[in-house]
Amino acid sequence: MDEKKNQFENEINVFDLWKMIAKRKTIIIGAFLLCIIAAIIMTFLVPKIYQGDAMLMLHPASGLSVKELADFIGTSDGGKIESMLPKTHSSITDIKFNVSKDAKESTKLLVIFEATDRNSIQPAFLEFIEYIDNVDFIKTNIKEEQERIAKRSAEHDIIIAASSELLNDYRRLLQNGKLISLGFNPVDLNRSISDIKVEKLKIEQSKLRIKGGVEIARKLYVGKNHIKPSKRKIVLIGGMAGLFIGITLAFIMGYAEKIKSRPS
């Protein structure tokens, strides 16, 4: 009997709650619509945020892994962004880094820019690369590598010049009959000189590639549409907040009315 009585009372309480909501549905609908309208207005007032991303590759001579670079830059708050991008920081809201799990072994880093002006992402990206190239220890390491490459190139120039001169001397001596050709093959010497020239070309190409500590592995891509704010999400949150506020007001008013109706 007690269980049936409790169940009956619970059913009455749920029915009373439903009656309370239905009686004040105008308040609930009004709160819902007001919050929806406020959310729509907010989507027009909140600045639009655009995003661009690019893949960077650190030169091995920079002496850093991508994880170490990300740790060095740290959190991209307003002050940090301004120090990195003194010319273009005004419209940049955030700079993010996507470091892979094996970042210590990798030399590639995904850099993501967020900005209120879509057209400012490209110059900000170029300024960011310039900032990385001018970090003191990266700049020093790259300069030392460039000097090593220049030294190797100069050594190859000397070897090529000396080899060519030696080959001409051998040919002249052979033609004049002053040198026995036994054990001497001009073709082999020519081939050796050609190999040295190929090696010299590779050194020159590496010299051209090492312009700085950072290279662009994948070009910057800037989305045409803004990523924030999400109108659908804001309106959905506004509608849910409106329902919650309206139902809460309905319960408060119903409770207050019940207290007033009690005999004193």
Structural domain boundaries in the chain: 139-209
pTM of the model: 0.61
Q: What is the CA radius of gyration of the chain?
A: 37
Residue among 49, 42, 36 at smallest CA distance from 237: 36
Pairwise CA distance, residues 96 & 76, whole Å: 7
Closest among 63, 58, 57 to 140, alpha carbons compared: 63
Q: Strands of 50-58's sheet, edge to edge?
A: 92-98, 108-115, 50-58, 214-222
d(CA 94, CA 84): 12
Whose CA is closest to 173, among 186, 191, 187, 162? 186
**pLDDT score recorded for residue 8:** 40
Distance CA 104, CA 106 (A): 6
pLDDT in tens, the chain (264 residues): 445 445 444 444 667 677 777 778 888 888 889 999 998 888 888 889 999 999 888 777 777 777 777 777 777 777 888 888 999 888 999 988 887 665 444 668 888 999 999 999 999 999 998 888 888 877 777 777 777 777 777 777 777 777 667 667 666 666 666 555 545 555 666 666 677 777 766 766 665 566 667 788 889 999 998 888 888 888 899 889 988 998 888 888 877 777 777 665
DSSP-H helix ranges across 85-220: 121-133, 136-175, 186-209
Cα dihedral sign for 181, 187, 192, 193?
A: positive
pLDDT value of residue 10 = 46
Q: What are phi and psi of 228, to 5 degrees?
A: -140, 150
128 with 56: CB under 8 angstroms? no
SS3 220: strand
Q: How far apart are CA 228 and CA 116, in angstroms?
A: 10
- Measured CA to CA in angstroms, residue 84 lies from 61, 66, 93, 219 at distances of 22, 17, 13, 20
Could you tell me how many residues make up the chain?
264
Pairing of strands 214-222, 108-115: unpaired
- H-run or E-run covering 44: helix 25-45
Main-chain dihedrals φ then ψ at residue 216, nearest 5 degrees: -90, 110
